[in-house]
Amino acid sequence: MKVFFAPAAPYALARAWTDGIWEDKARRVERMRRDSDKALALTAHRLLCYALKTVYGIVPRPQDFSLMARGKPYLAAEPDVHFSISHSGGMAMCAVHSEPVGADIEKVRPVGKGVPERVMSAAEYRLYMDAEDRQTLFFQIWTLKEAFIKYSGEGLGIPLKSFTVCPSGSGVDTDTGCAFWLMQPAAGYQAAVCAKGGAGPDILMVSEEQLARQLGR
């Protein structure tokens, strides 16, 4: 498994990074109001293309992507290639693996009142209430949960309160039966990946220049 991170490119550059973008993704980007949001989403897509080419030699076309029932994209002609993308704040993330994988990144920020109770299991909430740094713990739990539901392909079809993750670091979680890895790709960010098992991920930081140079502007 390899996990790639990249900072958001300026919109003036990212607006041209539409190669291989599938129709549903293109529509969602177009509906975004802020150029910064569009730039981040397009950087995440570019990072996916970079990862697929770097690891598998694949240069995807829009028609190569299909969507699962809950909207998770996949490459129909490549059953042994799995990926998951995420973005938040000013960072994009992409995980690629030979098995199903889920990835999530979040910019650490104030947590809204009542949110922890709505998304955490009882066991997670007890840990949260006892924690000295509740904000960090919240985003560790949140990214682990998001990574799991993205791994499953069910998305929010799985209620977040219905399962418990262990934010102790890396290893197999007994509730879900999956392996999880926590990481901090940059100051103020929390990220997690989920897979059925295997060795820990190789983490690669990718620059704006690498994205442009690898695939051509």
pLDDT in tens, 18-28: 888 998 999 99
| Res 213: pLDDT | 84
Contact call for residues 194 and 165 (beta carbons, < 8 A): no
* 130-144 confidence digits (pLDDT tens): 999 999 999 999 999
Local structure of residue 160 (DSSP, 8 states)? G
* 195: CB partners within 8 A, 6+ apart: 1, 97, 99, 100, 101, 102, 151, 178, 179
Band of pLDDT at residue 217, cut at 50, 70 and 90:
very low
Band of pLDDT at residue 200, cut at 50, 70 and 90:
confident
Please state the rounded mean pLDDT for residues 108-119: 95
Instruction: Specify the pTM.
Output: 0.93
DSSP states of 69-98: TTS-EEETT-TT-EEEEEEETTEEEEEEES
Per-domain boundaries in the chain: 2-215
Mean pLDDT of the residues in the chain: 91
The CATH architecture to which 2-215 belongs is Alpha-Beta Complex (3.90)
Please state the rounded mean pLDDT for residues 94-112: 96
* 153-182 confidence digits (pLDDT tens): 888 788 999 988 877 655 556 567 788 999
